[in-house]
Amino acid sequence: MTATTSPAAAPETPSPLTDVTRDEASLRRFLHGLPGVDQVGVEQRAAGLATRSIKKEAKRWAIDTAVSMVDLTTLEGADTRGKVRGLAAKAMRPDPERQDCPRVAAVCVYPDLVETAVEALAGSGVRVASVATGFPAGRTSREVKLADTRQAVEAGADEVDMVIDRGAFLEGRYLEVFEEIRAVKEACGSAHLKVILETGELATYDNVRRASWLALLAGGDFIKTSTGKVSPAATLPVTHVMLQAVRDWHERTGELRGVKPAGGIRTTKDAIKYLVAVHEVAGEQWLTPELFRFGASSLLNDLLLQRRTQVDGHYSGPDYVTVD
């Protein structure tokens, strides 16, 4: 695997898939006409790729790439402005003693803390992401979901992470889910939209594929596995299915969309398994924070420890990094 530059913006041409969303019947026919996922096959391939090792000289690059893809996240009821400021400081300088350590991609907070994050990260290049739409359950009216989104964007959020209505999806009300994602995308304005599928509640890989395509059809810039509040959260096989979706979307439309696994990714070894999957399933072009992110906080701590090991030649204990 080698580093890659950020891709060019997607061409501004009408999607050739527009007709499939004209009504419920057309959308259902399209989604249920997608190739079924071979459960055994995708799990075996994920397990096989997870055993791949990378050369020692490439490990430092992999660690730095993973650091640059982290959405440093705090989504707790007890979050304070002070905690967000501390997280922002860590995002900008993950390892204060190592000036060459890359910044993370974004800091992700609740809408009411976006303004604090924006102020703390001003001029740093680290983006501010905000969950919205009644996160994590999404059990509220569309009016409230859109107000939630607008609050985040008006406060300065660069990215919005929305949750889909899993109940509507599982009942087969696909057009309703599609229209809600489109409405949220419109409310985002210039902010990027990450669509959380909550794959742990979708039950099957076929549903993950259908939900991925539904989110892409509706304009999601990223498809994201999980809120981190439901188990299982991110898994390698599910991420494989989602990477296949964005790869196939690109082949059909020419548009590049991203993937964000979130929840349960805690170690450098785990992160490298996901980077291998990105390279082998979607392609090298996706090995950039513009198209792949990790939704995590504890992951960053281990990445920093392993980075010090690579640089210094010996293991540094957890006392050498800030622990969230």
Tens-digit pLDDT profile for residues 210-241: 999 999 999 999 999 999 999 999 999 999 99
Q: How confident is the model at residue 17 (pLDDT cuts 50, 70, 90)?
A: confident
Output 218 or 11, whichever has higher pLDDT: 218
Mean pLDDT for all residues in the chain: 92
Q: How confident is the model at residue 199 (pLDDT cuts 50, 70, 90)?
A: very high
- Given this model, what pLDDT does residue 196 score? 98
Q: What are the pLDDT digits (tens) for 101-122?
A: 999 999 999 999 999 999 999 9
- Percent pLDDT > 70 in the chain is 91
Q: Which residues contact 94 (CB under 8 A, 6 or more apart)?
A: 67, 101, 102, 103, 104, 300, 304
CA distance 134 to 44: 36
- Given this model, what pLDDT does residue 13 score? 44
Tokens linked to 319: 């006392």
- Given this model, what pLDDT does residue 180 score? 98
Contacts for 243-247 with beta carbons within 8 Å, 24 or more apart? 243/277, 243/278, 243/281, 243/282, 243/286, 244/209, 244/281, 244/282, 245/209, 245/212, 245/213, 245/216, 246/212, 246/216, 246/282, 246/286, 246/291, 247/281, 247/282, 247/283
| Residue 134 Cα to chain centre, angstroms | 18
Q: How confident is the model at residue 323 (pLDDT cuts 50, 70, 90)?
A: low
| CA-only gyration radius of the chain, Å | 19
Q: How far apart are the first and last CA of the chain?
A: 30
Active site residues: 161, 224, 260
- Given this model, what pLDDT does residue 324 score? 55
Mean pLDDT on 276-287: 97
- Given this model, what pLDDT does residue 281 score? 97
Nearest CA to 148 out of 182, 179, 198, 184 is that of 184
- Percent pLDDT > 90 in the chain is 85
H-state helical runs in the chain: 24-32, 39-50, 56-68, 81-92, 114-121, 142-154, 166-170, 174-188, 205-217, 236-253, 268-277, 298-312
- Given this model, what pLDDT does residue 314 score? 59
- Given this model, what pLDDT does residue 11 score? 43
How much is the pTM? 0.91
- Given this model, what pLDDT does residue 318 score? 57
- Given this model, what pLDDT does residue 312 score? 72
Question: Domain 38-316 belongs to what architecture?
Answer: Alpha-Beta Barrel (3.20)
- Given this model, what pLDDT does residue 5 score? 42
Mean pLDDT on 276-280: 97
Q: What are the pLDDT digits (tens) for 36-77?
A: 999 999 999 999 999 988 877 789 999 999 999 999 999 999
- Given this model, what pLDDT does residue 10 score? 44
Mean pLDDT on 13-40: 89
Please report, for the chain, the start and end positions of each structural domain, with discontinuous segments joined by +: 38-316
Q: How confident is the model at residue 296 (pLDDT cuts 50, 70, 90)?
A: confident
Q: Which residues contact 268 (CB under 8 A, 6 or more apart)?
A: 63, 66, 299, 302, 303, 305, 306
CA distance 218 to 295: 22
| Residue 256 Cα to chain centre, angstroms | 14
Residue 88: what residue type? A
- Given this model, what pLDDT does residue 54 score? 82
> Where is average pLDDT lowest: 7-11, 167-171, 193-197?
7-11
* Residue 313 pLDDT > 50: yes
CA distance 38 to 41: 5
* Residue 30 pLDDT > 60: yes
CB neighbours (10 Å) of residue 22? 10
For residue 41, CA distances in Å to 59, 225, 238, 270 come to: 28, 20, 12, 21
